[in-house]
Amino acid sequence: MGQRLSGKRIVVTDAGDFMGPAVTDLFTEEGAEVIADRRDLRPLAAASELIAEAGHIDVLVANLSIPNPRALAHETTDAQWAEVFDRLVHPLHRLCRAVLPQMIERRGGKIIVVGSAAALRGTPRRSCYGAARGAQHAYVRSLGVEVAPHNVQVNATGQNFVENPTYFPPEVVGSPELQTRLLDVPAGRLSTGREAAAFLLFLASDESDFLCGQIFPYAGGWTA
Amino acid sequence: MGQRLSGKRIVVTDAGDFMGPAVTDLFTEEGAEVIADRRDLRPLAAASELIAEAGHIDVLVANLSIPNPRALAHETTDAQWAEVFDRLVHPLHRLCRAVLPQMIERRGGKIIVVGSAAALRGTPRRSCYGAARGAQHAYVRSLGVEVAPHNVQVNATGQNFVENPTYFPPEVVGSPELQTRLLDVPAGRLSTGREAAAFLLFLASDESDFLCGQIFPYAGGWTA
Amino acid sequence: MGQRLSGKRIVVTDAGDFMGPAVTDLFTEEGAEVIADRRDLRPLAAASELIAEAGHIDVLVANLSIPNPRALAHETTDAQWAEVFDRLVHPLHRLCRAVLPQMIERRGGKIIVVGSAAALRGTPRRSCYGAARGAQHAYVRSLGVEVAPHNVQVNATGQNFVENPTYFPPEVVGSPELQTRLLDVPAGRLSTGREAAAFLLFLASDESDFLCGQIFPYAGGWTA
Amino acid sequence: MGQRLSGKRIVVTDAGDFMGPAVTDLFTEEGAEVIADRRDLRPLAAASELIAEAGHIDVLVANLSIPNPRALAHETTDAQWAEVFDRLVHPLHRLCRAVLPQMIERRGGKIIVVGSAAALRGTPRRSCYGAARGAQHAYVRSLGVEVAPHNVQVNATGQNFVENPTYFPPEVVGSPELQTRLLDVPAGRLSTGREAAAFLLFLASDESDFLCGQIFPYAGGWTA
């Protein structure tokens, strides 16, 4: 690989979960100084504390996740609902709010939201999770347009069927149920975490300077 | 007009706001028994109380709104953020959770979410509002697929540039600023509330029995 | 039903195929004077002759089809390819070109393109057919915006899993293969032709005056 | 830069036009052996001759264009219409048909269609051009799904506002009219050809092995 992120300071949230490990590894190889944070972002002050501690940030990778959030809508309790939004949606706003002023002032910076294709294609037992992921996408859509004139780029992915410790851990990867689910995925396989991180690398690098407010499905053809 | 909703009991929430008045008028003319509710749906128990009081419900029109929710992302406070989700997103889930059991048991019913095109096309100062509207759309996308096998249809619109007391009241309709904004709307005008209600009427009637989990832009060509 | 198309003169092309019969029946019941045309529209002059003969036209239903157009891309011959475009794409332009001047002059009129969800969701053996249907949709997208200022509305559907003599004739409807395909359709059934015609009725009526250049999936949740 | 295309043989069509020059330069720097072809692809045999002459092809960049294709729909002649499809649509199929057998046999290969955002967002005077670009996109959508099981990836972009000799040549880049048009582009500027080529590079490299049948807008936020 090259050094496509050379000299960049990059914060990755929830660094032990979801795309955190694969992003941290690849981005580091590509020359970035990665601040791999693992704090709980539910407390109201956590996001601003993280950003303050990190100092200069060129790229924020808003990698937020919650394990196994499947339930029928009419059985989803208020507590379950709130927990999903407390982990996926509200911290996203607080992270962006904290980091944007420095990016706007320097006229440069990028925010990448690692999102989910669950927001793009409906699936049973995913109404709560999908709603939270849909909030992320629509947030990016408007925020990306809002800050593009400041030369700050905000974009998101909508991934599914990517190996990662949160949603496709080894025990799922080897299961017969997954083979059945993959019949519905044109690519016919899971993406490795590294492959998916390579797309996030594109979004983190200067190569994506022209793009803003965009949602990129990354799901092996499962969603258009 | 005909009697396209004859014999249907229909709940309209926030009936004094947003599309409430136009929907109540048109649906009543079309033969529906409209329960035009105006209670504050933020309290946790409000949605289930409304549904319990209403009894048999054939169609729920989830008409939720909040006035004037424009702010730059990095200036949007936690209180503002929470208020938008408390009004637009969380009550939607509680309404659906409360009404779905009776619809599933009867193998019939419809939920229509009056949504916003702000979730579909990015606009500055709309990241919070857009995020909440995007949550609604993605919720509908998955819920619609989940309950379609029970013969319950859940669909949403994504409207903009529609006359209504909340977002396009008379003082906005007559303003020079609106004329400038309309330059970006291929239809070149606002929709009347009644026109937009006619599309919701289609979704409320038996004519839409085949559709589920779908988002219908209604914005004069402003979004694809 | 009511008389939602009372007083309107409506041309339906390929009236014996695809959605022709269901549209002709329903639109006639709704008070329209339907000119149900069955001529071969491949000859260059056919479209303009049809429009000239019809005289005053309030609504053009561009209902174009070709039976059974499935083939692997690398086995699709030039002749097969050309035939699909000759039937689905090129006549659409000639029909619109012929009818638009009278609509623009009168400042009123509607064109409805009965399209296919094959343009919206990829399927093996449908690259040629899908491409032609995609051309229709993109044509509508730009034409709708172009003529909206003249108060002429152009919109399209993207349907699939609708009973019709061309793609879902009785022998397909009763086949075991269809039952397998329906597992992938959230609605779990075919739409009747009449149901689908009711959505086209909405687009043909004054209720859709605000909409332009829009593509409406109509596929039981098979595509978002 | 690195050597992200090292060892790959890549055909670029219409190499003097549209994205041809920028792609040829960047891909060569990245280690590819680029066959920059400039033949007229309208003759029926041209595509298969090109593929036969090129021999082993790892990546086909279907870069097809036609200058200045703007016209009102009702003034677009049959000759103009046919010319656009003869240049943009029909050769795409013949190119894919010719190159797919070798890729399927080797279980590896990529086709990248340099498409246009004119298919994604409606614009006046673009119905013909948009229709042809829409045919490209829908072709990719189905073909991508069809050949993904053979480990052949087919994807497309939908670009606009990218400097290139065909649509944004120097005289347009410096014009006052462009400055007005850019008011509608959130990025507020044109993309350089090299930036846009970097996204095509991602699609040409092994990094995109998981993606198939997907359309990537590349238009500075002009389309979602």
Segment B97-124, tens digit of pLDDT: 999 999 999 999 999 999 999 999 999 9
A161: left (phi over 0), alpha (psi -120 to 50) or beta: left
Split at pLDDT 50, 70, 90, the class of D66 is very high
What crossing angle do the helices spanning C193-204 and B193-204 adopt, rounded to 10°?
A: 180
Q: Are B8 and B33 in contact, with CB atoms under 8 Å apart?
A: yes
Interface of A to C at Cβ within 8 Å reads: 120-122, 184, 186, 221, 223-224
Split at pLDDT 50, 70, 90, the class of B95 is very high
CB contact under 8 A, C224 and A186: no
Separation of alpha carbons B129 and B84, rounded Å: 7
Quote the pLDDT of residue A224: 82
- Cα dihedral across residues C60, C66, C72, C76: positive or negative: negative
CB contact under 8 A, B207 and C187: no
How close B155 comes to chain A (CA, Å)? 12
Q: How are beta strands A215-218 and B33-36 bridged, if at all?
A: unpaired
Q: Which of B122, B119, B111, B126 is nearest to B156 (CA)?
A: B111
Residue D58 corresponds to which amino acid?
A: D
Quote the pLDDT of residue C68: 77
How close A177 comes to chain D (CA, Å)? 20
Q: Are B212 and B144 in contact, with CB atoms under 8 Å apart?
A: yes
Burial (0-12, 13-18, 19+ Cβ within 10 Å), D16: middle
Burial (0-12, 13-18, 19+ Cβ within 10 Å), D72: middle
User: Which percentage of chain B shows pLDDT scores above 90?
Assistant: 97
Interface of A to D at Cβ within 8 Å reads: 1-2, 4, 141, 144-145, 148-149, 186-189, 191, 195-196, 198-199, 202, 207-218, 220-221, 224
What is the residue-level pLDDT of chain C in tens, covering all 224 positions? 579 999 999 999 999 999 999 999 999 999 999 999 999 999 999 999 999 999 999 999 999 999 978 999 999 999 999 999 999 999 999 999 999 999 999 999 999 999 999 999 999 999 999 999 999 999 999 999 999 999 999 999 999 999 999 999 999 998 999 999 999 999 999 999 999 999 999 999 999 999 999 999 999 999 98
Is it the case that residue D155 has pLDDT exceeding 90?
Answer: yes
Q: Where are the beta strands (DSSP E) in chain C?
A: 9-12, 33-36, 59-62, 109-116, 152-159, 215-218
- Cα dihedral across residues D193, D199, D202, D203: positive or negative: negative
CA of C121: which chain A residue's CA is closest?
Answer: A224
Quote the pLDDT of residue B69: 80
Q: Are D91 and D41 in contact, with CB atoms under 8 Å apart?
A: yes
Quote the pLDDT of residue B224: 82
Residue count of chain D: 224
**pLDDT tens, position by position, D108-130:** 999 999 999 999 999 999 999 99
Domains with residue ranges and CATH for chain B: 9-218 (3.40.50.720)
The ipTM assigned to this model is: 0.98
Separation of alpha carbons C211 and C197, rounded Å: 18
Q: Which among C1, C148, C224 has the least Cβ separation from residue B186?
A: C148
Q: Which of C67, C70, C62 is nearest to C10 (CA)?
A: C62
Q: Which among A2, A145, A220 has the least Cβ separation from residue D221?
A: A145
Q: Are A20 and A36 in contact, with CB atoms under 8 Å apart?
A: yes
Separation of alpha carbons B90 and C102, rounded Å: 50
Q: Which residues of D touch B121 (CB under 8 A)?
A: 224
CB contact under 8 A, C224 and B210: no
Q: What is the edge-to-edge ordering of all strands in the sheet holding B33-36?
A: B33-36, B9-12, B59-62, B109-116, B152-159, B215-218
Quote the pLDDT of residue B163: 97
β-partners of residue B162 are: B191
Interface of C to A at Cβ within 8 Å reads: 120-122, 184, 186, 221, 223-224
Rg of chain C on CA atoms, in Å:
17
Quote the pLDDT of residue C125: 97
Q: Which residues of B touch A121 (CB under 8 A)?
A: 141
Q: Are D46 and D39 in contact, with CB atoms under 8 Å apart?
A: yes
The helix, strand and coil proportions of chain D, stated in percent and rounded to the nearest 5, come to: 45, 15, 40
Q: Are B38 and B15 in contact, with CB atoms under 8 Å apart?
A: yes
Residue ranges of alpha helices (H) inside B61-158 are 78-88, 90-106, 127-147
- Cα dihedral across residues D173, D174, D178, D182: positive or negative: positive
Separation of alpha carbons A197 and A199, rounded Å: 5
Quote the pLDDT of residue B217: 98
Question: How many angstroms separate the Cα of B124 from the Cα of each of A147, B77, C8?
Answer: 8, 16, 43
CA of D221: which chain B residue's CA is closest?
Answer: B122
Split at pLDDT 50, 70, 90, the class of D93 is very high
Residue with tokens 């929430």: B13
Number of H helices, E strands in chain C: 8, 6
Q: Which of C107, C194, C201, C211 to mutate to test the interface with B (most CBs of B within 10 A)?
A: C211
CB contact under 8 A, C122 and D100: no
CB contact under 8 A, C207 and B202: yes
Separation of alpha carbons D84 and D128, rounded Å: 7
Please enumerate in sequence order all residues whose Cβ is within 8 A of that of A7, keeping only pairs 6 or more positions apart, or say none.
A31
Separation of alpha carbons C137 and A62, rounded Å: 36
CB contact under 8 A, D119 and C141: yes
CA of D217: which chain A residue's CA is closest?
Answer: A214
Question: In this complex, which chains have at least 3 CB pairs below 8 Å with chain C?
Answer: A, B, D
Separation of alpha carbons A70 and A123, rounded Å: 10
- Residue B223 has, within 13 A of its CA and on its CB side, a CA count of 21
Please enumerate in sequence order all residues whose Cβ is within 8 A of that of B36, keeping only pairs 6 or more positions apart, or say none.
B12, B15, B20, B24
Residue with tokens 């927001």: A119
Question: In this complex, which chains have at least 3 CB pairs below 8 Å with chain D?
Answer: A, B, C
Q: Are A213 and A142 in contact, with CB atoms under 8 Å apart?
A: yes
CB contact under 8 A, B224 and D223: yes
Separation of alpha carbons D222 and C134, rounded Å: 20
CB contact under 8 A, D122 and B186: yes
Is it the case that residue D1 has pLDDT exceeding 60?
Answer: no
Q: Which of A125, C66, A57 is nearest to B142 (CA)?
A: A125
Q: Which among C85, C124, C130 has the least Cβ separation from residue D138?
A: C130
**pLDDT tens, position by position, B131-160:** 999 999 999 999 999 999 999 999 999 999
CB contact under 8 A, A195 and D213: no
Q: Which residues of chain A have pLDDT under 70?
A: 1
Quote the pLDDT of residue C10: 98
Q: Are D213 and D143 in contact, with CB atoms under 8 Å apart?
A: yes
Separation of alpha carbons A54 and A117, rounded Å: 30
Interface of D to B at Cβ within 8 Å reads: 120-122, 184, 186, 221, 223-224
CA of B104: which chain A residue's CA is closest?
Answer: A74
Is it the case that residue B68 has pLDDT exceeding 80?
Answer: no
Give the mean pLDDT of D176-184: 95
Split at pLDDT 50, 70, 90, the class of B168 is very high
Q: Which helix (H) or strand (E) holds B218?
A: strand B215-218
Question: How many angstroms separate the Cα of C186 from the Cα of each of B146, B209, B214?
Answer: 8, 12, 11
The overall average pLDDT reported for chain B is 97
Question: How many angstroms separate the Cα of D33 from the Cα of each of B42, D24, D36, D113, D205?
Answer: 63, 9, 9, 19, 13
Q: Which residues of A touch B122 (CB under 8 A)?
A: 141-146, 213
